[in-house]
Amino acid sequence: MTSPMALRKPEVLAPAGDDAALKAAVLAGADAVYFGLSGFNARARAKNFDEGALAATMAYLHEHGVRGYVALNTLVFDEELEAAEAAVRACAAAGADAVIVQDLGVARLVRTIAVDLPIHASTQMTCTDAGSIELARELGASRVILARELSLSDIAKIRAETTVELEVFVHGALCIAYSGQCLTSEAIGGRSANRGACAQACRLPYDVLVDGELRDGGDRAYLLSPEDLEASALVPALMELGVSSLKIEGRLKGPEYVAATTRLYKTAIDEALGARAEGREGGAVGKSGAGGNGGAVGNSGNSAAGRTVVRGSGPHEGASRVSALREAALQMYSRGSGPGFLAGVNHQRLVEGRACDHRGTLSGDCLGTVRTNGRTCLRVKLAAPIARGDGVLVEGGYAGEGELGGRVWSVFAGGRDVERADAGREVSLWLGPERSVEGAPSGRRVWKTDDPAREKAVLAEVTSHPHRVRVDVAVSGEFEAPARFEARAETGAFVVVECDAPTVRATNGAAVSEVLRDKLGRLGDTPFVLGEVSVALPPSAMIPPSALNRARRALVEKLLAASKVAHVAAPITYRDLLAEAVPPATPPPPAGLFVLCRTLEQANAAVDAGADGVYLDFLELTGTGHAVRTLRARGRVHITVAPPRIRKPGEEKIDKFLRELSPDAILVRSLGALRDGAGSGVARIGDFSLNVTNRLTAAEVLSRDLAAFTPSFDLDAVQLAKLLASPFGPWAEVVVHHPMPLFHMEHCAIAALLSTGKDHRDCGRPCDRHEVSLRDRAGMVHPVEADVGCRNTVFHAAAQSAAGIVAAAQKGGARRFRIELVREKAADVARIVDAYRRLLAGTLAAHEVFGALKTEAGYGVVRGSLRVLPS
């Protein structure tokens, strides 16, 4: 029998939103910590770290043997490049172990200014296939943080095609939308998720409309609010795939959460290694089949009846410890949890829809209320222990209606007032004189939202047993000569100290190795702990104790000094890079007004109304082929085909199919397609999803065989006009009218709401028969449309118009404009195309376009993301 391959130990990467969280991560044994710099990271709401304190923060991390990655992962505008350059220089000088980058232009800036500062491609870059990862590598990234929508099976395929380090999220909040592709907050409130200012619209309640009729969804209101990720059970599988880093989400969370989650994943790794070494696999952190929900994978804490729970095979001590740590981590923060997309797509599982915020762990089922000891109490059948002082919550109905809870003042069990009661018991919980529990309905789940004793215990444990850097010391020498101390830290640091006094003969008979261990082990509050001490001294040697103490102090000083690093920064500036950023030498693509259509009816109407070309963005590939042939039969129609925005392993064949339809052009929507499709011979138009917000990025994407690019919807009217007035204007295609794509998601809300199927194989394809929309609290009805890959886009109810900047854009040099349709009928299409044709020809004013385009839905058009907000 061949022995199984050794597992590679990945790092545990903890989040830090402030100093307390950073220290908790270090104490808990994180291998690396990531944090943001004020201004340039995807968590603007976190306290973040300023550039001034960066060097001290990095020094602290390095002294403790922890790597520090700085998030510079926002899209950047031209006017911010100077500050971005300063941030890069600060990271280089402080010795950051990597910067996390979303913007392709910023990647270029980093690689040019600080050649040896590692770049990690942010999950905001939406890397979902080997092509996108290779593109990130070409930009200088040594690691890619994969999109959270990938399964173990997808990761395995990617792993087989690239040698770039892979980082995978294993814990924390999930976005319903692909990171880097959520435009909801930008469209609704000018708060860009790509700029760290997400307003969390996915956590709001929505009603469902099916074919225009309100559908009763029972208690499910939070239809876009996914459960949190908790993948400790998948750690062995991820290790097997050679994933380099297990990332914990949560830069807005406190130190208890950071400590608890870090300990959980460190322990899960150790347990996996131990299990492999002992040939004992499976169990609570057992091996899980790639792509399947195998092994121990399951949701946890979703039902008192145990709908899906973490399954264990036996009471092995390591597995029990992981289980306890998992409970502690989920107690700190959890909206309900499961393996997310790592276990594959399951549209019935990801969004339960009954809550959008912290639930904690499941305590049991509510049995109504009861009078106990003269007080009205909650009656609860416990599924987990509960104690006085815990926080509890009885879940409510639709959108939390009737939800109640509070802190437990008294626990009555078996007629006695007890400190704590165990799972399985029926108890009465009194929530104090100020909390009414009247009307608490029987049958609802009861959650433990807070467990102060557990919180204290987590921090106490990491404080009393902090992680320290192990140092092995070798001591050698002869009588009458100074001994030599060689210290090697587990971080790789190696230092040598020579004793300042000669070795003498012992007169007290004490064993030198014991004396050395005792004296060298006195590392007190240094970040180090003594590992092995090997001694090559004569048997009766003695080093004077005072000299030994001085040698130990010198070793510590040298080890601390060895942890200091800095990267070299080049004198080249962002201005030099901007000067080099020029459009391609080839002429710009033909001018015109193009219309992106989702049906053949729309495409015919657009051509009839005088559009210069159409884009075909259909749910069905076969429908696209039919549409191409039908439109070709009409005569000369410029046709651009549009593949899905996301490209997962194996989906390159969709691009191939579309190319074989011999279109005039193809829309390039993903970084994988941007890289892999270059040189295909078909004209390529880069879409908004490539996130071009500055000239460096425009130059980068155009250099990859694009005929034109679409500026990002993160630009407001002034910024867009400025970009169009640059030399890149003629190569830009401006979307002048479109319902903003708010959420673009792997989750199929249509299948979740209208079927019991977990994916396209068993959903019965309700998307073919029904129109599904989501109505928000303001009464706006947002269409939901699926694409070829079953990914859903929730579009804004109202179309957004850039009519107001068309004149300036034309003056600046823009010559290509695009209308994007969703569900518009032929008559609407004719009206919209006509209005913009006249606007472009100068025969209709912008305000007249706004007046003319009152759509059937009655919303009119809005300025949306183009609003210019006060800075």
Q: How far is CA 627 from the centre of its chain?
A: 37
Does position 125 interact with ligand SF4 (CB under 6 A)? The reply is: no
Does position 348 interact with ligand SF4 (CB under 6 A)? The reply is: no
Nearer to ligand SF4, 203 or 550 (CB): 203
Q: How far is CA 541 from the centre of its chain?
A: 58
Residue choice 166, 763, 799, 832 for contact with ligand SF4 (CB under 6 A) = 763
Minimum CB distance to ligand SF4, residue 365 (Å): 31
CB contact at 8 A, 444 and 369: no
Minimum CB distance to ligand SF4, residue 334 (Å): 16
Footprint on residues 25-64 left by ligand SF4 (CB under 6 A): none
List Cβ neighbours of 679 (8 Å cut-off, separation of 6 or more): 705
Minimum CB distance to ligand SF4, residue 177 (Å): 4
- Please work out the total of residues on this chain that contact ligand SF4, with binding judged by CB under 6 A: 23
Does position 201 interact with ligand SF4 (CB under 6 A)? The reply is: yes
Output phi, psi for 453, to 5 deg.
-65, -40
Does position 484 interact with ligand SF4 (CB under 6 A)? The reply is: no
Rounded Cα distance, 762 and 348, in Å: 11
Residue choice 102, 112, 185, 428 for contact with ligand SF4 (CB under 6 A) = 185
- Tell me 635's DSSP state: S
Output phi, psi for 134, to 5 deg.
-65, -35
Window contacting ligand SF4 (CB under 6 A); options: 81-89, 179-187, 336-344, 363-371: 179-187
Nearer to ligand SF4, 193 or 835 (CB): 193
Indicate the pairing of strand 469-476 with strand 482-489.
Answer: antiparallel
Minimum CB distance to ligand SF4, residue 584 (Å): 33
Footprint on residues 770-799 left by ligand SF4 (CB under 6 A): 786, 790
Residue choice 30, 58, 96, 177 for contact with ligand SF4 (CB under 6 A) = 177
Residue type, 724: L
Minimum CB distance to ligand SF4, residue 357 (Å): 13
Burial class (CB in 10 A: 0-12, 13-18, 19+), 376: middle
Window contacting ligand SF4 (CB under 6 A); options: 98-106, 479-487, 583-591, 765-773: 765-773
Does position 759 interact with ligand SF4 (CB under 6 A)? The reply is: yes
Minimum CB distance to ligand SF4, residue 621 (Å): 13
Does position 767 interact with ligand SF4 (CB under 6 A)? The reply is: yes
Window contacting ligand SF4 (CB under 6 A); options: 128-136, 410-418, 759-767, 810-818: 759-767
CB contact at 8 A, 701 and 138: no
Does position 258 interact with ligand SF4 (CB under 6 A)? The reply is: no
Minimum CB distance to ligand SF4, residue 554 (Å): 51
Indicate the pairing of strand 792-801 with strand 781-786.
Answer: antiparallel
Per DSSP, the three-state class of 864 is: helix
Per DSSP, the three-state class of 455 is: helix
Nearer to ligand SF4, 27 or 193 (CB): 193
Going from the C-alpha of 858 to that of each of 365, 606, 838, 851, the distances in angstroms are 46, 21, 22, 12
Location of structure tokens 């807005």: 252
List Cβ neighbours of 704 (8 Å cut-off, separation of 6 or more): 674, 675, 678
Indicate the pairing of strand 141-145 with strand 119-121.
Answer: parallel
Minimum CB distance to ligand SF4, residue 748 (Å): 3
End-to-end CA distance of the chain: 67
**Number of Cβ within a 10 Å radius of residue 353:** 22
Window contacting ligand SF4 (CB under 6 A); options: 300-308, 477-485, 487-495, 760-768: 760-768
Indicate the pairing of strand 375-382 with strand 361-372.
Answer: antiparallel
Provide the Cα torsion 146, 149, 153, 158; round to 10°. -30
| Tokens at 666, concatenated | 């193809």
Minimum CB distance to ligand SF4, residue 175 (Å): 3
Site string for ligand SF4, 720-749 (x = CB under 6 A): -----------------------x----x-
| Tokens at 471, concatenated | 């140092």
Nearer to ligand SF4, 201 or 386 (CB): 201
Residue choice 198, 221, 427, 487 for contact with ligand SF4 (CB under 6 A) = 198
Does position 93 interact with ligand SF4 (CB under 6 A)? The reply is: no
CB contact at 8 A, 257 and 333: yes
Nearer to ligand SF4, 44 or 83 (CB): 44
List Cβ neighbours of 455 (8 Å cut-off, separation of 6 or more): 256, 331, 332
Per DSSP, the three-state class of 504 is: strand
Window contacting ligand SF4 (CB under 6 A); options: 371-379, 422-430, 450-458, 757-765: 757-765
- Tell me 381's DSSP state: E
Query: Positive or negative, the Cα torsion across 490, 496, 500, 501?
Result: positive
Residue choice 57, 153, 184, 693 for contact with ligand SF4 (CB under 6 A) = 184
Residue choice 750, 753, 784, 794 for contact with ligand SF4 (CB under 6 A) = 750
Does position 200 interact with ligand SF4 (CB under 6 A)? The reply is: yes
Minimum CB distance to ligand SF4, residue 295 (Å): 25
Minimum CB distance to ligand SF4, residue 769 (Å): 10
Which stretches of 253-316 are DSSP H helices?
Answer: 255-277
Rounded Cα distance, 750 and 619, in Å: 13
Query: Positive or negative, the Cα torsion across 47, 53, 55, 59?
Result: negative
CB contact at 8 A, 100 and 69: yes
Residue choice 7, 182, 229, 708 for contact with ligand SF4 (CB under 6 A) = 182
Minimum CB distance to ligand SF4, residue 198 (Å): 3
Footprint on residues 137-176 left by ligand SF4 (CB under 6 A): 175-176
Minimum CB distance to ligand SF4, residue 866 (Å): 19
Minimum CB distance to ligand SF4, residue 765 (Å): 4
CB contact at 8 A, 224 and 743: yes
Catalog residues that contact ligand SF4 under the rule CB under 6 A.
175-177, 182, 184-185, 193, 198, 200-202, 743, 748, 750-751, 759-760, 763, 765-767, 786, 790
